Amino acid sequence: MQKQNTVKTVAVVGNYLPRHCGIATFTTDLTDAIVAESPDTNVIVVAMDDIQEGYPYPSRVQFQIRDRVQADYVRAAEFLNARNVDAAIIEHEYGIFGGKHGSHLFHLLENMRIPFITTLHTVLSNPAPEQKAIIQKLGSLSEKLIVMAEKAYGILTDVYKIDKEKIALIPHGIHDVPFVDPSFYKDSHNVEGRKVILTFGLLSPGKGIEYMIDAMPEVVKKHPEAVYLVLGTTHPHLIRESGEEYRHFLMKKVKDNGNSENVIFYNQFFSLPELTEFLTLSDIYVTPYLSKEQITSGTLSYALGMGKAVISTPYWHAEELLADERGILVPFKDSEAIAKAIIHLLDDENKRNMMRKQAYQFCRPMVWKEVARDYLGILKADIHKKQNAVFKDGLDDSCITLEQLPEIKMDHFLRLTDDTGILQHSIFSIPDRNHGYCTDDNARALIVSAMYTKLRNDNSLDDHIDRFFSFLYYSYNPSNNHFRNFMSYNREWLEEKGSDDSNGRVLWALGYTLETFQDSRYKNIIVRLFQTATRNVLDFTSPRSWAFTLIGIHSYLKVFTGDANIRKIRKELGEKLMHQFKKINDPDWLWPEKEATYSNAHLPHALLLTGNDTGNQEMVQMSLKVLEWLLSKQTTADGHLSLIGNNGWMNKSSRAVFDQQPVEAMALVYVCKNAYIITKDRKWRKSMIMCFEWFTGKNDINLPLYDFKTGGCFDGLQPRKVNLNMGGESTISWLLSLLIMYEIFSEEKLLNEPDLFEENK
C-alpha cells in the first residue's frame, strides 16, 4: 500500500516512438516531461503494436501489446500488477486498440489492479452506440478523464453524461522553444528569401491538403516567392490499405496546377530537432483539416506554441486555440478562402507578427513542463485517494479470474529442447550446450508435457513426450538397477548411477505419465520400467528420494490399484518418512533435519498423498501441520512468499534469504494444490496462489521471474535483481506451477465455484 502522497512508478499505455503517429509522439513527449519534472518517478510504457514484429523501442517500453491479440491485454495487466505500479495513464483513441471501436482495451483495464486516468484524444459529439458505451465505461473505470479542449468537457457531460468531477482539462503539451525570427533557418533549408507556408504530420485524406494545394495558384500570383512545404510520411495504415495513392494524387494536383516550384513534399518522419527547425522557418502554418469533430491537434498546438501565424479550418480544437485573433479560421474545403487568408497575412507583416506574439504568449502554460506537473498533480491527489479507499492491506484480489492467468507459452521450453532432450542451462535465453543434459530435468519436462497435453487436449507435444520418455528409458542402467543422471552434450553418460533423488524424480515422472496416458502406447513400457526400478527404492537413504518415489507411486496406484508389491513399498516408505517427523521434539522446529534445504515441500506433499490414499489421518494431519509451518517460515508480514535461499538454507537460528529458486516455489504450489483438493479448505488455495505469485512479482524485490516475451523463467531471485539466465529447471518449475493453476482454475470454472480469492466463508 502507498504510504505517502507520492507516485513512485507510473505506467503509460499508448503508442510510442519510433511508431509513426501523433499519439506515439504525444506519449513519448509526455513521459519525457514527467521524468524531467519528477526524476524520482519511474515511468514505464506499455506500447501498442499494429504490426506483428513490433518496433525497436527504447528501454522505457517494458511491455508490448499486439493490438489484435486479446490475450496480450490480459498479459499486460498481469505484468503491471506484478511490477507494483502505483498508477497508470491510458492514452485513448478508438483506432489504436483492437476489437470493435477498440473494445479490447477493457481486457487490460478490467484486469489491472492499478488506479488509472485516461487521456481522451477523440471525443465525438454524435458517437455510434458502441463508441458512446466505451467512453462511458472508461468514465466509470478511470479516476479521471483528461481532455485537451473545453469543448470536450461539455460534450462529455451533455452527451455521455459523465460526472463533471470526473473530468479534468489539461492542454496538449508543447515544447518550450524560444521565439525566433523565421529567417533564422531558411538558408540551411534552401528557402532563403521565400515566404514559407507549412503543414506537417502523417498524410491522409482527412488532412485536406488538396485544398491548400488548390489555393497555391492564387497565392503565387500575388506572392511568387511563396512556397508550401508538406512534411510527413503517409499514415502507415493508409500505406497498408492503398499505398501512396493519396500522395500521388496530391503530387499530380500540384503538377496540374503548375506549381511544382512552389510546393515541396518531404516524405519522411522528422525528429523533434528537425521539426523544430522547419516550424521556426515557416511564416504561416496551415491545418486545412476536414472534420469538425477533431477535438485535439498536436501539430496545431506545436505550431502555435512556437509562435506561428496560423490559418485553419474551424475544427473544435482550432476554434478554441485560435480565438481572440490568435489565428484565422476559414471554411472547410474552401481553397479560395485559404488563398485569401494567406495573401492577407503575407501582405500585412505587422498583422502576422502580432498573431505570432499573441500565439506564443498564450501557449506558455501549455509547455510540457506545466503539462507534466498537471498530470503528476492528478496522479498524486486522486490516485492517492483511490489507494487509501480500495488498496488496503495490499492489492484487492477479488477480481482475479481464469482469464487473468499468464498465457501458457512453451517457446523457451521448446528452445531448450533438442533431439536428445532438454538442456540443463542457458546463457540468458540462449541454450548452453556446455553443461549437457540431466535426467532430473528430462523427468520433470515429461511431467510438463503430459500435463500440458491433458489440460489442453493438444497433441502438439507428442514428439517431445517421446523424446523425454526415451531419455529416461536410456538413462536406466540395468547393471545396477539405477537411472543415470548427468549426460554430456555429446551423449556420453558422466556417471553409472545417479543420486537417489534423481531416481525418485524419474519414478515420479513415470507414475504421472502412466496416470495421464492410461490407455496409451506408453503404458506397457512404463509399467515394466516402473516395477523394475522400484526394486531397490527401499535402500534409498534420502527423505527426498522417498518423497519423490511416493508421489510417483500415488499416480501409479491410481491405474494399478491392486499391485501388491508397489502397495508394500508405499507402506514402508511412508512409514519411514512419517517416522522422521514423529521423532521431532522441538515445537519451534518442525523439521526432521538440522537444516531445511531444497525441495522441502515435497516431504509433506508425499505424506499428504500417502496418508490420504491409505486412510492414515495421522499422516495427513502431520503433513498439513508441517506444511503450515513451512509456509509460516516463508511468508512475510505483508503476505508475500519469501523462499528459503540456497545460499545458506535455514536452520533453527538463521535463514538465508537469497538466492531463491523457482523449483522451491513450484514445490509449494504443487503441495498446496493437493492440500486444497483433499481438505477443501480454502486457506490452502490462497497459499497456492501466494506461492504462484512469487513468479509474477510478489516477492522480496518485487520483480517477476517469468519472462513474458520468451515464456521462460529466470534462474533465481538475488538481493536486488533476478538471475537473467533461464535454465531448464527454472522454466520447467514455472510451467508446472502455471499448469497447476490452470488445472485448478479450469476445474473450478466448470464446477461454477466462487471467484478466485473470495474470502473463506
Q: Give tens-digit pLDDT for 653-706.
A: 999 999 999 999 999 999 999 999 999 999 999 999 999 999 988 899 988 899
- Phi then psi dihedrals of residue 349, to 5 deg: -65, -35
What is the pairing mode between strands 328-329 and 482-483?
A: unpaired
Is the pTM of the predicted complex or chain greater than 0.85? no
| DSSP code, position 469 | H
123 plus 207 within the same structural domain:
no
- Euclidean distance between CA atoms 290 and 81, whole angstroms: 42
- Measured between alpha carbons, how far is residue 670 from residues 601, 628, 687 in Å? 9, 14, 11
Name the residue among 543, 413, 528, 535 with its Cα closest to residue 472. 528
589 plus 520 within the same structural domain:
yes
- Euclidean distance between CA atoms 761 and 759, whole angstroms: 6
Buried b (16+ CB within 10 A) or exposed e, 484-503: bbbbeeeeebeeebbbbbbb
pLDDT of residue 757: 35
Q: At what angle do helices 543-559 and 602-614 cross, to 10 degrees?
A: 40
Name the residue among 231, 219, 327 with its Cα closest to residue 271. 231
| DSSP code, position 584 | -
Q: Is the pLDDT of residue 389 over 70?
A: no
Q: Phi-psi region for residue 615, left (φ > 0), alpha (ψ -120 to 50) or beta?
A: left
Using the 3D structure, point to which of 330, 357, 390 is the last residue of a domain. 390
681 plus 610 within the same structural domain:
yes
| DSSP code, position 405 | S
With respect to residue 761, please indicate whether it lies within any of the assigned structural domains. no
With respect to residue 1, please indicate whether it lies within any of the assigned structural domains. no
- Euclidean distance between CA atoms 12 and 87, whole angstroms: 9
Question: Coil, strand or helix: which one is 404?
Answer: helix
- Euclidean distance between CA atoms 51 and 236, whole angstroms: 10
| DSSP code, position 380 | I
- Euclidean distance between CA atoms 168 and 149, whole angstroms: 10
Least confident of 136-145, 149-158, 268-277: 268-277
Q: How many CA atoms lie within 13 A of 175 on its CB side?
A: 20
- Euclidean distance between CA atoms 374 and 670, whole angstroms: 48
Q: Is the pLDDT of residue 390 over 50?
A: no
Which three cell numbers mark 527? 509399467
**Tally of CB atoms within 10 A around 275:** 19
Tell me the three-class secondary structure of 300-331, residue by residue.
Answer: HHHHHHCCCEEEECCCHHHHHHCCCCCCEECC
Strand order in the sheet with 42-49: 61-66, 42-49, 9-14, 87-92, 116-120, 145-147, 167-169
With respect to residue 711, please indicate whether it lies within any of the assigned structural domains. yes
Biggest CA pair distance of the chain: 107
Name the residue among 439, 446, 279 with its Cα closest to residue 363. 279
DSSP string, 276-297: HHHHHH-SEEEE----TT----
**Tally of CB atoms within 10 A around 728:** 30
Cis peptide bond upstream of 181, omega within 30: no
Q: At what angle do helices 462-475 and 523-533 cross, to 10 degrees?
A: 30
pLDDT of residue 161: 95
Place of cell 534552401: 190
208 plus 91 within the same structural domain:
no
288 plus 373 within the same structural domain:
no
With respect to residue 760, please indicate whether it lies within any of the assigned structural domains. no
H or E element, residue 508: helix 500-516
pLDDT of residue 239: 83
With respect to residue 400, please indicate whether it lies within any of the assigned structural domains. no
- Euclidean distance between CA atoms 276 and 270, whole angstroms: 9
Mean pLDDT of the chain: 91
With respect to residue 212, please indicate whether it lies within any of the assigned structural domains. yes
Sign of CA dihedral 726, 730, 734, 740: positive
Q: At what angle do helices 439-456 and 728-750 cross, to 10 degrees?
A: 20
With respect to residue 759, please indicate whether it lies within any of the assigned structural domains. no
237 plus 291 within the same structural domain:
yes
Place of cell 500435463: 451
- Euclidean distance between CA atoms 645 and 637, whole angstroms: 18
| DSSP code, position 382 | I
Residue 258 CB-density burial (10 A; 0-12 exposed, 13-18 middle, 19+ buried) = exposed
Q: pLDDT > 90: what percent of the chain?
A: 77
Angle in degrees, CA 485, 489, 490, rounded to 5: 105
Angle in degrees, CA 419, 420, 422, rounded to 5: 100
Q: Is the pLDDT of residue 385 over 70?
A: no
Q: Which distant-in-sequence residues (6+ apart) come within 8 Å of 370 by Cβ?
A: none
309 plus 437 within the same structural domain:
no
H or E element, residue 436: strand 430-438
Contact between 438 and 486 (Cβ < 8 Å): yes
Strand order in the sheet with 423-427: 423-427, 430-438, 486-487
pLDDT of residue 725: 95
745 plus 692 within the same structural domain:
yes
Q: Is the pLDDT of residue 6 over 80?
A: no
pLDDT of residue 397: 37
pLDDT in tens, 25-62: 999 999 999 999 999 999 999 999 999 889 999 999 99
192 plus 245 within the same structural domain:
yes
116 plus 145 within the same structural domain:
yes
pLDDT of residue 110: 85
296 is in which domain, residue-wise? 182-365
Question: Confidence band (pLDDT; 50, 70, 90) for 381?
Answer: confident
What CATH number is attached to the domain comprising 157? 3.40.50.2000
- Euclidean distance between CA atoms 585 and 570, whole angstroms: 26
pLDDT of residue 695: 94
Q: 2 or 60: which carries more pLDDT confidence?
A: 60
Task: Give 116's strand partners.
Answer: 88
Contact between 706 and 648 (Cβ < 8 Å): no
Q: Which distant-in-sequence residues (6+ apart) come within 8 Å of 709 by Cβ?
A: none
Question: Confidence band (pLDDT; 50, 70, 90) for 750?
Answer: low
pLDDT of residue 403: 61
418 plus 300 within the same structural domain:
no
Q: pLDDT > 70: what percent of the chain?
A: 94
pLDDT in tens, 518-544: 877 889 999 999 999 999 999 999 999
163 plus 236 within the same structural domain:
no
End-to-end CA distance of the chain: 25
With respect to residue 122, please indicate whether it lies within any of the assigned structural domains. yes
Please count the structural domains in the chain: 3
Cis peptide bond upstream of 18, omega within 30: yes
Q: Which distant-in-sequence residues (6+ apart) come within 8 Å of 20 by Cβ?
A: 202, 233, 235, 236, 269
Residue 129 CB-density burial (10 A; 0-12 exposed, 13-18 middle, 19+ buried) = exposed
What CATH number is attached to the domain comprising 631? 1.50.10.10
